[in-house]
Amino acid sequence: MIEVLVVDDDLRVARVNTAYVEKVPGFRVAGVAHNAADALEQLEKLPRVDLVLLDHYLPDDTGLMVVQEMRRRGHQTDVIMVTAARDVSTVQAAMRQGALQYLVKPFAFAGLRAKLEAYAELRRTLDGGGEAEQAEVDRIFGALSAGGEPDLPKGHSATTTEVVRRALMTAEGPLSAQEIADRTGLSRQTAQRYLKLLERTGRARLTLKYGDAGRPEHRYEWATRP
């Protein structure tokens, strides 16, 4: 499990973000803090924190100060800024201080889910270790930038995309277009069209299943499964 510290001064927002995190498979909230001092204290006390979801506007200091102090104390914990701060100077400072992502409030669950799924994919890539060729380096640096909903071409529905995504996410293994159609009530042709879209945008992974004769069956699985 990826252990997350949620930091937000608004108690309601902190509860919502906590609920969002807990809905994403592979993630668990290790603690919640409502100011900078408490965030730093919990980083010292909690057994493990892999990721901090960090608001910038805190009552006793800024989120960027928290990041600076974390690094000064030797904490290399990953940070995703989750804040209403939209000015370019703050975004730039967050990037320079090592924030992996920056999510602007307000946002829906899908926005945070995409960032967390991309973060999980990045961790899996880095945990592989070894040396990296250029293609692998590009994949590592691109892992988080892919953490958004795919751009939908004309004629594609966000609602249908979400239906297919959920079917893939909840499946125990790769599924064919017909199996997606059976689970969702979509036609096979529609399921195939959306599966190809998700595969082209890197959100789904294509595998081939070879039978005794004929063409191999195309099967798909969610590419960022924790």
Q: Mind listing the pLDDT tens digit for each residue in 62-105? A: 999 999 999 999 999 999 998 888 788 888 888 888 888 888 88
pTM over 0.85: no
Calpha distance 66→61 (Å, rounded): 8
Question: For residues 167 and 173, is the Cβ–Cβ distance under 8 A?
Answer: no
198-213 average pLDDT score = 80
Strand segments (E) across the chain: 2-7, 27-33, 51-54, 78-83, 101-104, 204-209, 217-222
Does the N-terminal peptide bond of residue 106 adopt cis geometry, omega within 30 degrees of 0? yes
Query: Who wins on pLDDT, 195 or 118?
Result: 195
Token pair for residue 206? 């294509």
Least confident of 53-57, 136-140, 177-181: 136-140
Tens-digit pLDDT profile for residues 167-202: 888 888 899 999 999 998 999 999 999 999 888 877
- 22/81 Cα distance (integer angstroms): 18
Q: What is the pLDDT of residue 226?
A: 43
Give residue for tokens 């924030």: 99
Question: What is the torsional sign of CA 111, 112, 115, 120?
Answer: negative
